[in-house]
């Protein structure tokens, strides 16, 4: 809200961001977007506005409640799997220390994630999202819609973790991503005690349709026309996809549900 106000008052006044959570220090705090949920839609109101500066103070990072501190690592894993295989290897190696939020390990993970996000925005060629697949939004088409479906009781980080798992499995089913690489990513999410399934994925509309798939249409509208989502072809590699096989996506959801049930 503050960012939106700063972007519109007097046609824009300088905004200094001071993000205070793992999620915001690692991701959104270094971005160029301001978004406000409105009329039941995620980020319906907002602007693109480059902050004058962002101050990531680790004193804030370490003062969070433990659950919030760890949950934000979902976006750290995301940027690693779409942008930096070497960083993902590091996350995999230090998953135990990250799960415990060991200060030095947490700080390195957040700093590296923030730099990767900032580098893509500055040098990716489409900072204001006029045509790209927005790789930093990997897994977000489902995540955003789950948040809406939950009445925003489901946190963004948790929703992103589940959304990534769905698109990872879809990438495997399409033959783009090896099952071994998928297993490695899911294992890291589990090690960080992030969710890999949520019952909202199975919810049906009154006419029996899979409700989460409405998130694809919402995502297409948000992009301004053509659906473009990123799917994985490897850790640190992705490709743009413009069509989604709804039946196959539902198959992925059923498989995720069965796997979750087997662990109960």
Q: Using 50, 70 and 90 to split pLDDT, how confident is the model at 128?
A: low
Q: DSSP string of 141-153?
A: HHHHHHHHHTTT-
The gap from C-alpha 31 to its chain's centroid, in whole angstroms, comes to 13
Q: What is the pTM of this model?
A: 0.93
Among 206, 11, 142, 176, smallest CA distance to 150 is for 142
Is 181 in a helix, a strand, or coil? helix
Label residue 84 left, alpha or beta by phi (over 0 means left) and psi (-120 to 50 means alpha): beta
Task: Identify which has the larger pLDDT, 57 or 136.
Answer: 57
Two tokens, residue 87: 């960083």
Position 121 scores a pLDDT of 85
pLDDT at residue 225 greater than cutoff 60: yes
What size, in residues, is the chain?
A: 264
Q: Which residue ranges make up each domain of the chain?
A: 71-262
- Under 8 Å between Cβ of 18 and 57: yes
Which CATH code, of 1.20.1090.10, 2.40.160.40, 3.40.640.10, 1.20.120.80, is assigned to 71-262? 1.20.1090.10
| pLDDT tens profile 201-217 | 999 999 999 999 999 98
Angle at the Cα of 259 from the Cα atoms of 156 and 100, rounded to 5 degrees: 50
């Amino acid at each position: 809200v503050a960012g939106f106000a700063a972007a519109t008052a007097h046609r824009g006044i300088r905004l200094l961001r001071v993000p205070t959570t793992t999620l915001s220090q690692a991701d959104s705090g270094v971005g160029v977007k301001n978004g406000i949920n409105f009329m039941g839609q995620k980020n319906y109101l907002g602007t693109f506005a480059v902050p004058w500066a962002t101050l990531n103070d680790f004193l804030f990072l370490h003062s969070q409640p433990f659950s919030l501190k760890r949950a934000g690592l979902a976006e750290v894993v995301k940027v690693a799997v779409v942008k930096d295989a070497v960083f993902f290897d590091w996350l995999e190696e230090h998953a135990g220390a990250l799960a415990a939020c060991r200060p030095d390990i947490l700080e390195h993970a957040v700093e590296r994630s923030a730099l990767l996000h900032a580098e893509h925005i500055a040098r990716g060629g489409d900072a204001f999202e006029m045509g790209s697949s927005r790789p930093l939004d990997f897994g977000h088409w489902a995540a955003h819609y789950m948040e809406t479906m939950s009445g925003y009781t489901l946190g963004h980080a948790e929703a992103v973790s589940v959304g990534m798992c769905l698109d990872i499995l879809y990438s495997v089913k399409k033959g783009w991503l090896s099952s071994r690489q998928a297993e490695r990513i899911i294992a890291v999410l589990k090690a960080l005690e992030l969710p890999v399934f949520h019952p909202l994925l199975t919810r049906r509309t009154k006419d029996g349709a899979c409700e989460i798939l409405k998130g694809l249409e919402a995502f297409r509208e948000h992009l301004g026309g053509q659906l473009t989502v990123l799917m994985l072809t490897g850790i640190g590699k992705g490709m743009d996809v413009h069509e989604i096989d709804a039946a196959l996506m539902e198959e992925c959801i059923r498989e995720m549900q069965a796997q979750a049930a087997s662990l109960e």
